[in-house]
Amino acid sequence: MALTGVLRPGFIQIRVLDLAAAEAHYVDRIGLNKVGTGADGRLYLKAWDEFDRHSIILRKADTAGMDVMGFKVASDADLDGFEKRITDWGLTVDHVPEGEQPGVGRRIGFTIPSGHRIELYASMELSETHPPIENPHVWPKEPHGMKATRFDHALLYGPDIEKNLAFFTEALDFALAEKVDTPDGVLGIWLTCSNKAHDIAFVRHAEPGRFHHVSFHLESWMDVGHAADIMARYDISIDVGPTRHGITRGQTIYFFDPSGNRNEVFAGGYIHYPDNPIRSWGPEELGRGIFYYERRLNDAFLSVVT
């Protein structure tokens, strides 16, 4: 549980094919708030219970997927310290200047063994619509849509996830909360820098740099049901759910945005403490681990990535 160092997931930049359709999906349906549009056309969004300026960035492109996931660190000194640790570990670090994203300080970036770009940063402006901090009400303005409270985590697909595991635990001080073992090696890892069940996860896949889903936290199982009602009302394409995971114990629905990027709404999940043992799953129980009620996987969940 990090009190210093890497604190939490901070932002994710997603490629979409139609920006107007994506805005309607993420704002009207998932319930994010529009922060603004950058000079380069990127759309910045946030959930109602997030303090920082933005957490979701949508970029119009010819292919769907994820450009980058950013983690917030505790201080500027931590940013310098992690740069040395990352280069000592063996990855090349580049620098993104302050202001490349509105309201965000300098960032360092690197490509991890699975082919995904990760960035670290220490500062982002406080949102104008942040949760109240003086005599606070429960929310600043009543939530809408699926009532997403925050950007919670992402699941990424790619090769060399054993190297990802070594990198995140050795260079960034993440903990391995849960894993899936097979006779051919580790199939999946769930990593945390906090006391959540996971902040980022990886599944072994032949193609590098693939994006499985971005997850939005909801307050309760009742809100997951409410999200299902919205998906049914507006004909949103559902992958699976409402259901529950064995891995992480979270309640979930997987569905798709108009560009084919998979989304998740997620509630619950266990609390992780640094002295917890690693929870392990074998291939014979993987279906129950992923979808606890159905006890089997569906083809789309395994094969559809962007």
Q: What is the CATH number of domain 150-303?
A: 3.10.180.10
Q: Which fold is adopted by the domain 6-121?
A: 2,3-Dihydroxybiphenyl 1,2-Dioxygenase; domain 1 (3.10.180)
Cβ atoms < 10 Å from Cβ of 298 = 15
- Radius of gyration (Cα) for the chain, nearest Å? 18
List the domain boundaries for the chain.
6-121, 150-303
Q: What is the pLDDT of residue 284?
A: 86
DSSP β-ladder status, 262-268 and 210-217: parallel
Buried b (16+ CB within 10 A) or exposed e, 192-211: bbbebbbbbbbbbbeebbbb
Contact 36, 46 (CB under 8 A): no
Residue stretches of the chain with pLDDT short of 70: 1-3
Cα–Cα distance measured from residue 204 to residue 179, given in angstroms and rounded to the nearest whole number: 11
Q: What is the pLDDT of residue 246?
A: 86
Determine the length of the chain: 306
Reading the block at residue 274, the tokens are 């640094």
Q: Can you say whether residue 271 is alpha, beta or left, with left for phi > 0 and alpha for psi between -120 and 50 degrees?
A: beta
End-to-end CA distance of the chain, in Å?
A: 31
H-helix or E-strand containing 60? Answer: strand 56-60
Cα–Cα distance measured from residue 255 to residue 6, given in angstroms and rounded to the nearest whole number: 29
H-helix or E-strand containing 21? Answer: helix 19-23
Q: What is the pLDDT of residue 304?
A: 83
Residue-wise pLDDT for 271-294, tens only, equals 999 999 999 999 888 878 888 888
Task: State the catalytic residues.
Answer: 153, 198, 213, 245, 254, 264
Reading the block at residue 107, the tokens are 């960032």
Cβ atoms < 10 Å from Cβ of 37 = 14
Residue-wise pLDDT for 21-80, tens only, equals 999 999 999 999 999 999 999 999 999 999 999 999 999 999 999 999 999 999 999 999
Same fold, 6-121 and 150-303: yes
- Written as one letter, the residue type at 272 is H
